[in-house]
Amino acid sequence: MSNEESSSDINIEGIEAALRYLGRQTHGILAEIIEHGLDDPTGPAGVALAPLTHPLRVVGQWTAKERALAFWALIEEGVKDSCLGPPLRSRKRHAVAAALRLPVAGISTESWGASLRSRFKQLKAVPNVFDNPSTTQPMEVAWSSGVRTLATFLRRRLQTLRSIEDWEPYRPHDEPAFDLDKWIIEYDEHAHREHSILRQPSENAQKVFHELQIVTVHMRERTVHRRVTERLITCRDPHDEVAFFTVNGYRVGDSGINRTYVPARSVWGCREEIIESARAGHAPVTRLRFPKPLKYGDQAYFASEMVFDEGEHAEWVDVEVDHHGIALGRLLHAKKLPISGLTIRIRFDNDFLPEAAWWYAELTESERYVQPPAGDRHLIPLVGNAVQHTFTEHLCEPREHYGLAFSWPTSSGET
């Protein structure tokens, strides 16, 4: 949305009319009425509230409830703002709060009357604001002035909320409080079930299970420049200790066949060792050695990185499961913090952005090229210059591939 579009789309009169519409409502929760307007833009609420809901198109990928609650949070911010006068005795603030059924001293949200007039009458009981008037005229005057002031505030703020990142602080975070002890019990039970339903790994698979794996890739132009991987693993070898985790990486040559292997470097919780192959023509591998060997059930958290100086244009970031599998993905804190499973993040060069990105699971290499149709659940929105996905849909099976794929603009001049 350009600056010119945002200025022309947002006008004080339209916002004021929408706020007055909310103030006239006699029943229902106002945030839910906004949500209804978003769900049915051609209905009475949708038409009346369009000046408020139209700017929310920038976060169209959010649910209607999330968008409605985000805008309601913005309205509450405006009612609390100093533009409406002193915190305790402002007539404008009290009248606006009554109209929008927000709490004021001595009157809770649930205590407001149905009609706008009845709510204004309730303000007579608020001390040191309206001085015990015989009519509701002072409240009506304050509402007329206050709603205009609030509309001005909202217009000013909406002109700065032009991207999904700008709106993010207003997104609701209504997730229940996290009970660590309960989660540990549930997780242990869930993990036991996961291990029992995963397919058997190959004989030479690494004998560890990934509780958490986070892969963060930094692109340079259209190539992978840096790949950082964090892992929380559990030893699954009942007979022997596991002293290291083996990784290998490579960049693809121009022919698409010749592979130049790139060593991994330790970042945290491990020490790298480059192991040359005893077989002629075979590339070396990197062992990430733990501070001490792991016995069955022991865990290790460690991180490594690979830096690629050059390479072919990338079209996906892939994770091969060469071990006992990866847990089902789970997120906390409004689905922002991965605490289990596989998460892949890609940060693109600002001047080289993909046209589309999507996640894939258990596909052949040729199938990864196929872009899903519009509206498909596999498509991932680009937020700024980055995409990410946590595999909450899949346990990551041994001997399979999971990743994010993307398509570049067809013309070399496009970005």
Q: Which domains does the chain have, with CATH numbers?
A: 3-170 (no CATH), 182-407 (2.60.40)
Strand order in the sheet with 271-275: 242-247, 285-294, 271-275
Nearest to 75 by CA among 105, 95, 59, 52: 52
Q: Where are the alpha helices (DSSP H) in 27-102?
A: 30-39, 44-48, 50-53, 64-80, 91-99
CA distances from 391 to 213, 219, 281 (A): 10, 21, 36
CA distances from 127 to 17, 105, 106, 117, 319 (A): 30, 9, 10, 18, 65
**Maximum Cα interatomic distance, the chain, rounded to a whole number of Å:** 99
Torsional sign, CA 235, 240, 245, 250 = negative
Phi/psi region, residue 46 (left: phi>0; alpha: psi -120 to 50; beta: rest), is alpha
Residue 37 tokens, joined: 């307007």
- Bridge partners (DSSP) listed for residue 226: 218, 307
Residue 273 tokens, joined: 């060792």
Question: CA–CA separation, 100 vs 116, rounded Å?
Answer: 9
- Bridge partners (DSSP) listed for residue 196: none
The 10s digit of each residue's pLDDT in 46-82 is 999 999 999 999 998 899 999 999 999 999 999 988 8
pLDDT value of position 222: 92
Tens-digit pLDDT profile for the chain (415 aa)?
Answer: 444 444 446 788 999 999 999 999 988 889 999 999 999 989 889 999 999 999 999 998 899 999 999 999 999 999 988 898 876 788 999 999 999 999 887 787 778 888 899 999 988 888 888 888 889 999 999 999 999 999 999 999 999 998 999 999 998 875 555 555 555 555 555 555 555 567 788 888 999 999 999 999 999 999 999 999 999 999 999 889 999 999 986 654 433 445 567 889 999 999 999 888 777 666 788 999 999 999 999 999 999 999 987 766 889 999 999 999 999 898 887 778 899 999 999 999 999 999 999 999 999 888 988 999 988 889 999 988 999 999 987 789 999 999 999 999 986 444 4
The 10s digit of each residue's pLDDT in 125-167 is 888 888 888 899 999 999 999 999 999 999 999 999 989 999 9
C-beta separation of 303 from 268 below 8 A: yes
Cα angle for residues 215, 218, 219 (degrees, 5° grid): 130
Instruction: Give this prediction's pTM.
Output: 0.56
